[in-house]
Amino acid sequence: MKISELEARSGISRHTLRYYEQIGLISPLRQPNNYRVYTVQTLQQLQFIQRAQSMGFSLGEIGEILEAQRNKTIDCAAGARLIEKKMAEIRQKIADLKSIYRYLDKERASLEASAASQLEQLHNSSR
């Protein structure tokens, strides 16, 4: 399929498809006239890329996974380790966000208390 069909079937823009090619995530075949030709396998790779991104994997990490798949150097155990590593990163991000949330909640409460105090002082001074 040509890039226009791949764009339509995948929902990924032509610009992004070319970028993915540039960084080695996908590799189209080339016709004698140098036109790109994409296979059903490319469409499957794009679906994998989208799923992996939605799970928090970076394009660099996805590229490493795809390369390992192409070279047949990844097995289920290695895949499980990659997923566990990503889960650990997500757990850390959650902990960091909870800490930030608690800090902001404390600051908000402090500011609300200050605002209430100022309002009360203003009210008392106008009597």
Q: How confident is the model at residue 125 (pLDDT cuts 50, 70, 90)?
A: confident
Task: Please check whether the domain covering 3-125 is classified as CATH 2.60.120.10.
Answer: no
- 3-state class (DSSP) for residue 11: coil
CB 62 within 8 Å of CB 49? yes
DSSP 8-state code for residue 29: E
Q: How confident is the model at residue 19 (pLDDT cuts 50, 70, 90)?
A: very high
61-120: pLDDT as tens digits: 999 899 888 888 888 888 888 889 999 999 999 999 999 999 999 999 999 999 999 988
Provide the CA 85 distance to its chain's centre, in angstroms: 15
pLDDT at site 87: 92
Residue 36: strand pairing partners: 30
- Decide if pLDDT at 25 tops 90: yes
Provide the CA 110 distance to its chain's centre, in angstroms: 35
In the numeric block, which tokens belong to residue 50? 């989208």
pLDDT at site 89: 92
Q: What is the pTM of this model?
A: 0.71
